[in-house]
Structure 1
Amino acid sequence: MRLFIAEKPSVAKAIVAELGSASRGDGFITCKEGSVVTWCFGHLLEQAEPDAYLPDDVPRTKKGSKVWRFEDLPIFPKTWKLLPKNDKGVKKQLATIGKLLKKASLVVHAGDPDREGQLLVDEVLEHFRYTGRALRFWVSAQDSVSIRKGLANLQDNGKFVGMKWAALGRSRADWLLGMNLSRAYTLTEGKKELIAVGRVQTPTLALVAKRDAAIRHFKPVPYFIIKARLGSDKPFTAVWEPGDSQTGVDEQKRLVDRGIAVALQQRLNTVNQATVVSYSRTPKKIAQPKAFSLADIQLAASNHFGFSAEKTLSVCQSLYETHKATSYPRTDCSFLPESQHADARNVLAAIAKTIPSLAGIVAKCDCSIKSPTWNDKKITAHHGIIPTQQATDGSKFNDAERKIYLLISERYLANFLPAHEYLACSIELRIATERFSAKGRLVTKLGWKAVTGAADEDKTDDEGQALPELKAGLQVPVSGIECKEERTKPPAAFTEGTLIRAMENIHQAVDDPQSKKFLKEGDGIGTPATRAAIIAELKRKKYLEAKGKKIVATELGVHLLQVVPDVMKNPVLTALFERILREVEAGKVPLGVFIEKQKQLVINELNRLRK
């Protein structure tokens, strides 16, 4: 018997839809060609609590759990224990899978296409000591076309063992650090409050607290911008540029001396002609935007709709699992495989049927356009998030699903419209002895920006001005000189979207040049699949809180950071561990080496606390 074990019922249902259902059992479905399909509900097994590894003579609390004692630390399991989750439905389904495995001659692993999906089914097979043949079903979308392709291309499950080891390493590392150090810090604080730390949670909290402190202690500094109003038939504005020897400017070349600013304005107001030093118009193109990664869509949804990272992930999961309208969402990649370019016509047709209001844009799409988004060399375990070839009834989307589907679809549609083209215009002038510059952007071809209304044919550059065509040496009338006082602004508070981006681009928060260079490769803190959950957990523990779109550290969160040492707050260490996990996944580093590093960190910190 061929037994499919899916990660969740929705995946099982999609597989059965292609194989054809013959009969339904309790927790499984028999298909017409003889295969049996069963399913998990996510992880059916979970790590045992520390009590499972502590001696029986440890005193117990009134609730029956063993008392936390410093002398019992560190807790390092010799043999790790995975137990069924304490849920009747889970235990019943696990028993069903166990019975089916006894009859199976071949298992098809149908976990999600990532580390956790690999571990989730593998650990069930190991729990029941299954030693038979196993194949891997690997798809990034649940539409019928993708399911059929996956069924036709089953691979040896052994090829994915590295992903299992990496997921297991992450799980065990989080347990070792979280369980041991949370107990240690809480006991050190006299049990007044739980001091829960985590390999990823604590550096994430530190990011937010550091930003909050920068905003709180920020002192605005005034500076002055001097602008000249120029021209008559086609008036435009130019901005004063300080020379290399200019006094009264700061390190960012901002004019901060009020006296110099006033004197400069008064002197320049006596001049009625400016001389053109140089003029240029350079044709430029902006390539089509890449597909969304999870971090990208979380940032976009936060900016556009105020969605939390967790809500955006939930909506993306619903579009993927329930509606089968979009591809696998937990991806760190924004590129697409070149082989899928041939599917474009079908995907575009599905978009038009799902959201009829997009049919007009779909009609303008050119499937022969192959943007830089299609790049096999840039593909990681998954590709960017895109609509599937399966049309669905878009009227059945809830409001959040419709908004996210539109974002994903518009980004995909943009890749089948021409590049955005414009003329980058620049004028350098002299007024008396002072240098002024003017920049503009004149759109010549709207291209893909027509999809989102990001630009229109009459819109120009950032300053909203069109520059006249001039030549060096020409004189331009000066109609006025303006001196405007501005004030420096504090850094922006994090939103969930920008915090996700900061976790991904953690190198920007690191000062050490070597570490910054190393981290710039993009490992970041956490993974696309876990970052939203990490933020949600920090909020649940009341270390972070939302204030409108902003997310800030609470008083309790700041206190935790005062208690724990720098090593636990340091994003460099966390990102380095994730790098080792990638080496584990690639088979270059044994899992045991990674685990020993975690143990040594725990031992070092316990020794510090004991002293």
Structure 2
Amino acid sequence: MKYLFIAEKPSLMRDVQACYKNHKNEVTERVGEIDFTALSGHVCTNFMPTDYEEWKDKSWKAILYPMIPNPWQIKPIADKRKQDTIAEIRRRAADYDGIIVGTDSDVEGYGIYWLLEQYLELNEKPALRFIEHSLTDAEILKSLLSMTDYHKNPTHVHFVQSFLIRSRADWLFGMNASRMLTNKRGTLIKAGRVKSPTIKLVYDNSMAIDNFANRKYFVLEAEYETAPQGEAGETQTFKAVLQGEDGDVQFENPKLFAEFSMEGTVEEVEKKKSSSHAPKLFDLAAIQAEAGSKYKFKPDHTLELVQSLYEKHKVISYPRTQCRYVSSEKAKEFPAIMENIAVFEDLGKIAAGIDKGTFAKILKDKAVVNDTEVSKESHDALLPTLKRPDLSRMTKEEQIICKMIYMRLLAQFLPKLEEEKATIKIRHAEADSEDIDAENEMGGIFKASGKVVTEPGWSILYKKAGGHALPPLKKGDRITAKSMKPVEKETSPPKRLTQATLINAMRNIATQIEDKELKKSLADSQGIGTPATRASIIKDIIESGYVEEKKNALYITDKGKNYIEAVKDFDIAYPVFAANMDNSIKKVQRGEADYEQVMAEVMQKLREMCEQIGQDPKEVEAELAPFEPVQTDIHCVKCGGVIEEQKKHYECLGCGAKIYKNISGTEVDMELLRNLEAGEQSGYRNFTTRAGKPFRAALKLDENGELTMVFFEESVKCPKCGKKATLNQWGVFCGIKKCGHKVFRSFCGHDFSYPEMKQLLDGKAVAANFRSKAGKNFRAEVHLNTEGEYTFDFQEEEKP
């Protein structure tokens, strides 16, 4: 047999090719001869709606939704290098008995080959699936000698089915929702099955912070000092807080607390021991979250680093994994893997103390070695390989990520973290009572909490705080408070999302859901999006202006708010919608759900979404209604030809020049057309960008008969020097070189309108909504001071 190995990337091709040359006789004997070629990621894609005859050349309003391709069609991506690659594979394929599929062994990788196979009609050609676990020579050889039938092996079939549902659902919901919402809102809305709920996560977080009502309150705190214990003992100070039925007693006014006797009696002492396993091994989402939290690495940058450690240095396993467990077969390599940990001196010293018997014990630890969990995915957790890291060849950031992976593995071999938590409850009689007997139910209970680490175990790697101990008191002991006073506390807003914590929120979407039954059903969900797409989705919503990042924190923008306003009434906006669907898709991948049934559910949800958004049949009818062109008495300014009115535009019968009837939301009627063709400039009108932002401009035809916009300008006085300045769509600009003062229309998150700018230039104040540098929304009046700068007019209590 002779095979063509199709790698997803040239780097993988070179690594596998080198291994093949090193072991050619063995591979040829057991598999066959192999030649190699490489793609560069996706080379084919699904048709766009405009590629289908059914929707080609139709306006978005002239389509009856939902659009459902039947059959689905595939085309090459519009890139010459990719098209050349496809042409080469088409030319060479006939010379081989079969194909070896060497794309990444995640869902996306399966899809890359499937699309190519369908486009080139290679379905009937035998195919083997190469699964890369790491790129060391030994692992590549092992993978080459254990390849299975791409078309028949259930695992491969399920991964392909999972790709088909995911990619088609993304197309169906994205294309249909975007067009329908754009029709409904009049501005471009790019909806997405995963994109929309991701923006919603940031929106909800930002709104929760912006609308957070800060509350100050008081608790009554007693401080105690115990007598020295033993000859070398020291006094021990601890604090306790007055308790009510629901925890700490809180008052807005500190004077409302009752007064209590300083003498108290210990009413209850409770101690609980707990142990905790080391944190799970990393998958991609987990290491992106931790690297973001500890080192401020962006998720896409962390992905680049782990990809480099995998491809370039070959010291870690496949990075785009969603699994946090190891197979029993892989676990047999632990002793050899751990020998390399000495490259990190501090970790090596700790690892040297591990008993050899620990390796046998860990094989029985289901929190680490779990074949059932690994079988649900195509890869183990993120692990070091058997190749010893050469730190001198790595960047500082690569060393950090590599050490994180080794440290997390080392943690699994260390003892559990053992802690003892203690609470002491002390009763104090009210000040006017002399009875402080422990049995007396009057008075107040003050509670103190403490915690001590009895066995640090794995936590020595992470410098976990040790807690504080309470004194060895027992029930019935009498104790005197050193002081008792109200202490002011303050409620805290939710923490603002970062890119790293947003990745975590997408991955662990079940934690965002309050409904207990739904939470339980999604407990095994891998969240929304995939390891391959989450970082790029976050990057896209930032670059598209829906979300902005300031000092590592994420804020919803006005554009993002408008977006959520447009989609908030529809299921597609909510994370639970995407999570439910992704959970079903994940079950297909694992062979736990039927492909046809899940695909039918996707179609049902699509129709429900389209019904939610709604479509006016009369509007569609009007769009589809025939229009008889009418010749006007207006002549083309360019060639003198007669202008003909058509359904959507005016067109010259001589030179074919066109002027559309709707320009950025403003209608061009016959009167305006007549003036334009006569060489006149229109008055200034209000327009709207595709993003929904208003602007003012005039229309005129240039010397080539092309319609152009003349942006608004008006002569005004400079608010600083008083001389000639220009007011336009961007702000006020002084024309005097010596002054050169500028006042931009956009200030603290607010875009001033033309009337508002005029009001400011007239020396009057304008009231509007603004956003502080910290991201907090507030309302205030603003005016231009004598230096021509924006100045807020606050009432004292209104300051942000």
TM tier, smaller: 0.7 to 0.9
Choose the corresponding residue for 2:545, options 542, 546, 554.
Answer: 542
Partner of 1:48: 47
Query: Does residue 588 of structure 1 match 2:594?
Result: yes
Find the aligned partners of 1:438 and 1:22 in 2 and give their Cα distance: 68
- Equivalent pair of 1:76/1:176 in contact (CA under 8 Å): yes
Partner of 2:424: 427
Structure 1: which amino acid aligns with 2:130? Answer: F
Find the aligned partners of 2:385 and 2:47 in 1 and give their Cα distance: 39
Shift in Å, 1:516: 3.2
- Equivalent pair of 1:141/1:324 in contact (CA under 8 Å): yes
Unaligned runs of 5+ residues in structure 2 are 25-29, 229-234, 430-442, 619-800
SS of corresponding position for 2:474:
coil
Find the aligned partners of 2:471 and 2:599 in 1 and give their Cα distance: 68
Find the aligned partners of 2:31 and 2:139 in 1 and give their Cα distance: 20
More strand as a share of residues: 2
Query: Does residue 362 of structure 1 match 2:376?
Result: no
Structure 2: which amino acid aligns with 1:439? Answer: S
Classify 1:475/1:539 alpha carbon distance in 2 versus 1 (closer, same or farther; 3 Å). Answer: same
Q: TM-score, normalised by structure 2?
A: 0.67
Tell me which structure has the larger Cα radius of gyration.
Answer: 2
Residues 294-332 of structure 1: CA deviation (Å, up to 9, x unaligned): 221121111112222222222222222222222222223
Choose the corresponding residue for 1:497, options 500, 506, 509.
Answer: 500
Partner of 2:147: 154
Classify 1:566/1:123 alpha carbon distance in 2 versus 1 (closer, same or farther; 3 Å). Answer: closer
Find the aligned partners of 2:126 and 2:179 in 1 and give their Cα distance: 42
Choose the corresponding residue for 1:318, options 308, 311, 334.
Answer: 308
- Equivalent pair of 1:424/1:441 in contact (CA under 8 Å): yes
Residues 354-405 of structure 1: CA deviation (Å, up to 9, x unaligned): x455432332334532153222233230322122211232222223222222
Choose the corresponding residue for 2:573, options 563, 569, 576.
Answer: 569
Q: TM-score, normalised by structure 1?
A: 0.87
Find the aligned partners of 2:13 and 2:181 in 1 and give their Cα distance: 44
Structure 1: which amino acid aligns with 2:144? Answer: L
Shift in Å, 1:550: 1.0
Partner of 2:208: 214
Query: Does residue 292 of structure 1 match 2:289?
Result: no
Partner of 2:452: 442
Classify 1:241/1:146 alpha carbon distance in 2 versus 1 (closer, same or farther; 3 Å). Answer: farther
Classify 1:609/1:347 alpha carbon distance in 2 versus 1 (closer, same or farther; 3 Å). Answer: farther
Structure 1: which amino acid aligns with 2:577? Answer: L
SS of corresponding position for 1:15:
helix
Choose the corresponding residue for 1:143, options 133, 136, 157.
Answer: 136
Partner of 2:484: 481
Find the aligned partners of 2:172 and 2:544 in 1 and give their Cα distance: 19
Partner of 1:226: 220
| Bigger RCO of structures 1 and 2 (CA < 8 A, at least 6 apart) | 1
Shift in Å, 1:138: 1.7
Structure 1: which amino acid aligns with 2:244? Answer: G
Shift in Å, 1:209: 0.8
More helix as a share of residues: 1
SS of corresponding position for 1:35:
strand
Find the aligned partners of 1:21 and 1:106 in 2 and give their Cα distance: 22
Classify 1:359/1:610 alpha carbon distance in 2 versus 1 (closer, same or farther; 3 Å). Answer: farther
Residues 192-233 of structure 1: CA deviation (Å, up to 9, x unaligned): xx3110011111111211121111111112222332222132
Structure 1: which amino acid aligns with 2:138? Answer: V
SS of corresponding position for 1:242:
strand
Find the aligned partners of 2:82 and 2:164 in 1 and give their Cα distance: 21
Partner of 1:578: 582
Find the aligned partners of 2:494 and 2:186 in 1 and give their Cα distance: 36
Classify 1:610/1:411 alpha carbon distance in 2 versus 1 (closer, same or farther; 3 Å). Answer: farther
Partner of 1:551: 554
Choose the corresponding residue for 1:329, options 319, 324, 327.
Answer: 319
Structure 1: which amino acid aligns with 2:604? Answer: K
SS of corresponding position for 1:214:
helix
Residues 115-139 of structure 1: CA deviation (Å, up to 9, x unaligned): 1111212332232222122222223
Classify 1:427/1:542 alpha carbon distance in 2 versus 1 (closer, same or farther; 3 Å). Answer: same
Query: Does residue 106 of structure 1 match 2:112?
Result: no
What is the CA RMSD across the aligned residues, in angstroms? 2.7
Classify 1:239/1:262 alpha carbon distance in 2 versus 1 (closer, same or farther; 3 Å). Answer: farther
Taking only the aligned residue pairs, the percentage that are identical comes to 30
- Equivalent pair of 2:221/2:241 in contact (CA under 8 Å): yes
Find the aligned partners of 1:558 and 1:608 in 2 and give their Cα distance: 24
Partner of 2:175: 179
Residues 55-85 of structure 1: CA deviation (Å, up to 9, x unaligned): 59727xxxxxxx6544375433222222222
- Equivalent pair of 1:350/1:388 in contact (CA under 8 Å): no
- Equivalent pair of 1:278/1:472 in contact (CA under 8 Å): yes
In the alignment of these two chains, the number of paired residues is 576
Find the aligned partners of 2:88 and 2:388 in 1 and give their Cα distance: 34
Partner of 1:168: 164
Find the aligned partners of 1:357 and 1:235 in 2 and give their Cα distance: 35
Choose the corresponding residue for 2:333, options 338, 343, 354.
Answer: 343
Residues 219-255 of structure 1: CA deviation (Å, up to 9, x unaligned): 11222233222213232323224233xxxxxxx6443
- Equivalent pair of 1:421/1:447 in contact (CA under 8 Å): yes
Partner of 2:438: none
Find the aligned partners of 2:520 and 2:31 in 1 and give their Cα distance: 55
Classify 1:444/1:580 alpha carbon distance in 2 versus 1 (closer, same or farther; 3 Å). Answer: closer
Residues 181-202 of structure 1: CA deviation (Å, up to 9, x unaligned): 21222233334xx311001111
- Equivalent pair of 2:103/2:110 in contact (CA under 8 Å): yes
Structure 1: which amino acid aligns with 2:181? Answer: Y
More moved, 204-213 vs 335-344: 335-344
Shift in Å, 1:52: 0.7
Partner of 1:533: 536
Classify 1:91/1:357 alpha carbon distance in 2 versus 1 (closer, same or farther; 3 Å). Answer: farther
Residues 122-175 of structure 1: CA deviation (Å, up to 9, x unaligned): 332232222122222223322333223222321221221121121122112211
- Equivalent pair of 2:266/2:474 in contact (CA under 8 Å): yes
Residues 390-445 of structure 1: CA deviation (Å, up to 9, x unaligned): 12322222232222222222111111222222333332322333212222222232
Shift in Å, 1:599: 4.3
Structure 2: which amino acid aligns with 1:329? Answer: P
Classify 1:418/1:55 alpha carbon distance in 2 versus 1 (closer, same or farther; 3 Å). Answer: closer
Query: Does residue 278 of structure 1 match 2:271?
Result: no
- Equivalent pair of 1:344/1:367 in contact (CA under 8 Å): no
Classify 1:201/1:56 alpha carbon distance in 2 versus 1 (closer, same or farther; 3 Å). Answer: closer
Find the aligned partners of 1:360 and 1:417 in 2 and give their Cα distance: 13
Partner of 2:633: none
